[in-house]
């Protein structure tokens, strides 16, 4: 894609202190990034391959993200934290919505490949590990912590609840079931899991 084509292809926006960017090109690059990451893994991922898959020039890619790691942190963080935090008015309802969203995410073939790959790569790459902790893990845990703090405010959980440990109980069973055991997950399983997690949170 030529620079002139890029200028005409979509409405323009300006990054703070930076160049004018086109949303359609950004969207194409984002889609290409996730497709490439799922297929090749982080270790073999290249900026050039992402640009080529998107049909964009390398200049368009580097104007948005200066490196592979910066691109990964920005786009994975955006995908991991988008969407609303459930607020059904009850702990049980919130937990069920949260777990259901996690099941949906892990049920996507592209998503589960990316998650497993990035976890493995983070064990070998300290810089990537630290980046993903600050841009993905910590914001996601803070979102979930707000769900638990609301339950404390409603009196559904004790005031001295161990929020950090409860966060482990909240997210881990779904990951274990789908990524490790690779067992079936249906509405009945979600209902039973919700009851178990709510009971554990209040223990």
State both tokens at 39. Answer: 């297929």
Work out the burial of residue 18: count CB atoms within 10 Å of its CB; fewer than 13 is exposed, 13-18 middle, 19 or more buried. exposed
Q: At what angle do helices 109-124 and 23-40 cross, to 10 degrees?
A: 70
Per-residue model confidence (pLDDT) at position 22: 73
List Cα–Cα distances, 135 to 72, 78, 114, 130, in angstroms.
10, 9, 16, 9
Per-residue model confidence (pLDDT) at position 21: 53
CB-facing half-sphere around the CA of 132: CA atoms within 13 A = 21
Nearest CA to 48 among 39, 60, 38? Answer: 60
Phi first, then psi, for residue 22 (nearest 5°) are: -110, 130
Per-residue model confidence (pLDDT) at position 2: 41
**Contact criterion met (CB below 8 Å) for 156 and 90:** yes
Q: Which residues of the chain have pLDDT under 70?
A: 1-21, 83
Per-residue model confidence (pLDDT) at position 82: 77
Nearest CA to 137 among 95, 83, 77? Answer: 77
Work out the burial of residue 132: count CB atoms within 10 Å of its CB; fewer than 13 is exposed, 13-18 middle, 19 or more buried. buried
**Contact criterion met (CB below 8 Å) for 42 and 128:** yes
Per-residue model confidence (pLDDT) at position 197: 95
């Amino acid at each position: 894609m030529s620079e002139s084509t890029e200028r005409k292809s979509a409405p323009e926006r300006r990054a703070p202190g930076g160049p004018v960017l086109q949303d359609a090109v950004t969207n194409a690059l984002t889609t290409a990034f996730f497709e490439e990451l799922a297929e090749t893994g982080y270790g073999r991922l290249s900026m050039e391959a992402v640009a080529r898959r998107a049909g964009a020039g390398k200049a368009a890619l580097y104007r948005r993200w200066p490196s592979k790691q910066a691109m990964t942190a920005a786009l994975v963080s955006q995908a991991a934290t988008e969407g609303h935090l459930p607020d059904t008015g009850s702990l049980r309802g919130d937990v069920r919505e949260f777990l259901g969203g996690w099941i949906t995410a892990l049920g996507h073939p592209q998503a589960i490949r990316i998650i497993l790959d990035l976890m493995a790569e983070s064990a070998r790459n300290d810089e990537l590990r630290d980046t993903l902790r600050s841009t993905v893990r910590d914001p996601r845990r803070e979102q979930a912590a707000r769900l638990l703090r609301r339950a404390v405010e409603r009196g559904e959980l004790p005031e001295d609840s161990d929020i950090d440990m409860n966060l482990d109980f909240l997210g881990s069973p779904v990951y274990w079931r789908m990524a490790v055991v690779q067992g079936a997950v249906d509405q009945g399983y979600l209902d039973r899991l919700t009851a178990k997690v709510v009971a554990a949170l209040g223990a």
